[in-house]
Structure 1
């Protein structure tokens, strides 16, 4: 069984933060961009893997695609 990576100690600052000035629309647009990057990364990993590892990354890609569709739809609703 694979080991789980422990969460960083609570005293460490977060790796990624945002600001109060970031608008809802900009946050959704950024999330959409991040999801596109995640999809490209997963697709590249799929091409390098076999077996259960490949199947797991394909599952992650499917989840990223579903989230991307929902975020993109949210952006469309904001523009309407």
Structure 2
């Protein structure tokens, strides 16, 4: 009967899965944040009257999200 030995790759598998799960969770959070920011930036454009040339949009949510995206991914 042959025994199964625990190789370093097998021992590292649960840690690798958790690491991958953290990355996937961070990326899905980031994607959701991007969608929310895009909505807040672009929603005023179709709401503007048809003849209006310039539409004021608020870029503050975008400016807040950009630095936090790097932090979110670094923590993952």
Normalised TM-score (structure 1): 0.42
State the structure with more CA Rg: 2
Q: TM-score, normalised by structure 2?
A: 0.43
Higher helix share: 2
